[in-house]
Structures are given as structure tokens and as C-alpha cells.
Chains A and B, each alone.
Chain A
Amino acid sequence: MNAPQTLSRWSTPGSSRVPFWAYTDAQLYQRELEKIFYGAHWCYVGLEVEIPNLGDFKLAWVGERQVIMVRDRKKPAGKLESDPDSGIRVVENRCAHRGVRFCQKPQGNARSFVCPYHQWTYKLNGELAGLPFKDGVKDGECVNGGMPADFDIKQHGLTQLRVAVLHGLVFATFSDDTESLAEYLGPQVMPWLDRIFKGRQLTLLGYNRQRIPGNWKLMMENIKDPYHPGLLHTWFVTFGLWRADQKSRMVMDAQGRHAVMISRRNEGGQNAAVTEGVTSFKANMTLHDARLLDVVPEPWWTIDDPSNPGSDITPTVTMITLFPSLIIQQQVNSLSTRHIVPRGEGEFDFIWTHFGFADDTPEMTRRRLRQANLFGPAGFVSADDGEVIELSQDGFRQWGEEGATLCELGGTGTGPTEHMVTETLIRSMYAYWKRVMSV
């Protein structure tokens, strides 16, 4: 595809003014799919626990391409880049014969994949196992038809993506050039993934799915914007789950594409200095049923502080954004992955997968499920995120070439901070995005 002429039109210096066309240009979006989702990036496809048994599969997405995450036999050590082999494969849901998206079940168990159109049959790892009439059909002494003599069955499997599994999180990439997953994520982000996942067996609690009429990047921005919850999400402010004065840290990887917002809840109620002028604050709000906020600290919340060796840190909230399409949420006892699936420049699907740990007590499981009321498409504090994203996209659409968002809280730089009154993470993501997209 020819690169659109218009892409070099980002005229302001830095990344603190994001032009509206970055969210509305259909050609630019196609280039994002190529450069980002199908380029040298690791994209989230699911949790290992979703496919526990041999042959278990589920449909997933990398950009707009549908893929199948499946559990295959493990290969002997040393044959694959990841050693030991996880046994997890990711193949494209597109038949090598006539391009049919052959798998229609969202999840299930299979011994092989068969395309319904002409019965091309694939192994779980995507290799072509066989096809009808390959050697033609006998008619007496004659053989009619069949594939050419030089047809090599090994050359006609499904697209096999590279797969990397970290602590039960499964990532895939179409590109041979993507660095190892550990390098891709970087040492700044890794301790925060280790904190939640390392050495623990996950349990699957279920899914929530929403379709949001906005550009996919707006969801990443929303989670990289740490101070809006104290304004938009009245619920958060009132119960102290998120307020502009709480201890917070903004961490990012060396390239500025991934980030962690680390925070500790305060005790709720009013702090005059930070709630002054916040019209959404409801000073007299109390719960009729306190079980909705029955927060119980968990031992794994406390870790050695990666920034201050020798001292502890005990965040109650960590929101991890892994570019381009994964958000990992720890909000007190509620844990989820949130997967962004782009559907054109003006729409994306947002898939929430809530999880717990295999050693959770029944009480802790109930607690996680209760706190799930706060999040998701109907959540007390996240339904409004989808709504404002839709309203943002509406605003971009009604303006021409010259409009831009303004992300200058905390300046125009892209460094880490020890507070949340900043839009530095958004700026750092766009600084990276500009490099990848050559705009």
C-alpha cells in the first residue's frame, strides 16, 4: 500500500498536542495496523488458563486479524525460541486454500482444524495435515486432476505467529523482527507484572465485552491519564480509591510505550485542598451496603520498591498499559486484563477478562466478584470512560485538519514522575507512536 501523502503533517514540536486526524484518518489507521499491530510488537491474545487442556482453543484478535490460541503438545526442548516450550500456539483463522475464516466457535476443544469449504485439515500447530484429492481421482488407469507434482504440503499451513508466554499471559506477533518479550516489555515494567503474576496459578472468573465508538488509542490514553479519575469518577473520589493527593508514581519503559500507574488509596472522605472546585465530589455519599467496597489487603501487594532498593512499597492500585492493546488492572481486590481490539479508526471492542488466583479462598473470590461491579461496561467507575471516549471522538470528527488535543499538564516532557498531576504518559506514548508511524 502506498503511504498516504498526508502523514508527515504533524507540524507542532514534541508530542503534547495530538492532532485530531490521528484519531479520524482512515488511511492512517490502515498504516497503524501494518506498522503496529502486524509489525514488530507483541500483542496480547489471552490467558494460558483459558485453554487448560490439550486441544483447547479460543478465538482471539491481533489488530483486525482473527487468530486461534490453542494448546498443542509441547515440543522437545531447544526446538523453539522459547525454552521450555509452553505448548501454546497462535495461528491465523484463515484457510491457506481459499482464505476462509474456518473456525466459528469462540472456544472449544479440537484434535485438528478443518476448513468446511474443501476440508483442508490442519494440525493444532497450523501445519497442513492433508487435503482431499491431492493426488487426483482415479478413473480406470487414468488419474484425473490433483495438485501439481511439486505441491509441498509443508509450504501451505496456516499463518503461524510467534508466541511468548509470560506468567500465564500469552502474546503473539506476526513479525520476525520483534525482540524477545522480556526485552519488549523492559526492566522498568517487569517488576509490576511479576508482582501480580509471578509464580501464581490464575483462575478465570469470566468476561465482559463492550463496543466503544472511539479510536483505539483513546483507551490507552484514558489509562495513561492518572488524574481524570479524581474528576470524572465521583465514586472513586468519595471512597478514596483515587484522588489527586495520593501517593502515586508514573513508571514507563525506556521507549515510553508501556507504562505503570502505581498508587495507594487514602481513607476516603474530603480533603478540602483536592476536592475544592471538584463539582463531582459528593461529600455526603455513603453506601447502604458496604460489601461493595469490602477491601481486604493481600500479601502480594507489598514488594521491594524497584525504585528504592531496601524499602517496601504497598500500592493498592496498579494500572499497566502494554502497548499497543493490553491494559492490566489491579484495583484493590479486582483483577482483570482489558484487551483493545481495533475495528476501524473510529471504533474498538474492549474485552475484560476478570481473574483470580487458584489459592483464593471462596470469600476472596466473592470479594473480587463484588468489586467487579465497579469496573466494566456497567461499572461505577469505568462505564463513564467509554462514554467520554465516544464524546471525544465525536468532538474530533466535527473539526477539520487544524484541531489538536492538548496534553500539557505537568509540562511538555516525557519523564517519569512521583505524582499523578501529569499527562506525561500520554506524551511519551505519542512520542513513540510518531517514531513508529514516521509522522
Chain B
Amino acid sequence: MSSERLLLQLEIDQLNADYAAALDEKRFDDWPLFFTADGKYTVQGRENFDRGLPLALIALESQGMMKDRVYGVTQTIYHAPYYTRHVISPARVLAQEGSLVTAQSNYAVFRTRPGDSSEVYNVGRYIDEIVRTEAGLRFASRLCVYDSEMILNSLIYPI
């Protein structure tokens, strides 16, 4: 692996680590900032993805929609309290075209509710399109394809 490529992978892994930390530390206002202004964030069940069915669990098409989601998550959607822990695998860099990098990584998100043990909440992979901006690497698109056949009741916080 060229040192340039190695560096790129390290940068993407760092981006993922920062992304996970923002969510697990409940800094939800920071979450849209990992995306470009017209960035896309999609959470889709594997069965829909594999069969080419367009429905997603969450499909946001701009940073603005992500801000609206954060408002819903923090202000309007009633849910029992929980926190998450993301474990993200090293990224596989799959393609690089100009400033656009395509990468994938696996994730597992654990959920812990007050007074309860931790449980496996959502497992899948990130399919990412990443661009380099003046502020650093940003997601032009993050598609979370989850294997988990059943959502454990509801999914509130971003994956």
C-alpha cells in the first residue's frame, strides 16, 4: 500500500472515530457537520437494499434535513432514554475518483438503557462517499445498510 493510500485510510478511520464519538457523547448538533451541505444520510434495511426497493428507514437529503432530524431527536420524539456505543471497523477504501473517495466499513451499535444491560442494537455497514473540503474530510453520502432484521422497538439516534 502506498504511503498516500495508507494516510487516506488513517484519515477516514479518524473521521469515523470522530463521528462515533459525537453520537456516543450525544453531541447531536455536531452530527450534521460531518456532512457536506447537500450531503445524504440514509439508513436502510438490507432486504430493501439487496432487492433494489427504494424505501429507507431514514432518508435525509441535506444538512438542513439532518438538523430537522436532530430537532426531532432532541425535542419532539418521545422515547425511553438510552445511549449508544459505536464500534466501527477499519475502512476499506474502494475507489478514488478526483476528490471523491468511496469507502466501506462495518459497524455495530450497542444500546444501553438506564438500569439495564447493554444489547446489540443495530449491525451493518457504512457505504460512504467522502470528499475533501477546506474543513477536512466530509461525507457526501453515508448509507447505513443494516443486517438487523428487526429494529428493537424504535430507532431514534443516528446510526
Contact = CB atoms under 8 A, between A and B. Distances in A.
Contact of A206 (B55, B58, B152): B55
A383 B53 contact: no
Contacts of B117: none
A377 B148 CA distance: 13
Interface string A264-291: 0000000000000000101001011101
Interface stretch (B5-13, B40-48, B84-92, B94-102): B40-48
A369 B59 contact: yes
B81 to A, nearest CB: 10
Interface in A110-153: none
B76 interface: yes
B45 A210 contact: no
B68 A289 contact: yes
A94 B60 CA distance: 42
B57 A282 contact: no
Interface string B48-64: 10010111111111111
A182 interface: no
A79 B80 CA distance: 54
A170 B80 CA distance: 36
B150 A206 contact: no
Interface in A232-290: 232-235, 238, 280, 282, 285, 287-289
A234 B72 CA distance: 9
A384 B79 contact: yes
A273 B64 CA distance: 32
A330 interface: no
A388 interface: yes
Interface in A394-425: none
B53 A205 contact: yes
A390 B80 contact: yes
Contacts of A205: 53-55
Contact of A204 (B53, B67, B150, B152): B53
Nearest to B75: A282
A100 interface: no
Interface in B103-159: 149-156
A232 B60 CA distance: 23
Nearest to B149: A209
A387 interface: yes
Given A287-B68, A373-B58, A384-B154, A207 B79 contact: no
B65 interface: yes
A210 B156 CA distance: 13
Interface residues of B, number: 36
Nearest to A390: B153
Contacts of B47: 106, 206-207
Contacts of B152: 210-211
Contacts of A207: 45, 47-48, 53, 55
A308 B156 CA distance: 42
A208 B45 contact: yes
Contact of B64 (A211, A234, A288): A288
Contacts of B61: 289, 291, 370
Given A205-B55, A207-B47, A387 B67 contact: no
B56 to A, nearest CB: 7
Contacts of A287: 64, 68
Contacts of B75: 234, 282, 285
B65 A289 contact: yes
Contacts of A233: 76
A49 to B, nearest CB: 12
A122 B54 CA distance: 34
A262 to B, nearest CB: 25
Nearest to A352: B55
Interface of B: 43, 45, 47-48, 51, 53-65, 67-68, 71-72, 75-80, 149-156
30 contacts: A206-B54, A207-B53, A207-B55, A209-B151, A211-B150, A211-B153, A232-B78, A234-B75, A285-B71, A285-B75, A288-B63, A288-B64, A288-B65, A288-B68, A289-B67, A354-B55, A369-B54, A369-B55, A369-B56, A369-B59, A370-B61, A373-B58, A378-B154, A378-B156, A380-B77, A383-B155, A386-B153, A386-B154, A387-B78, A387-B80
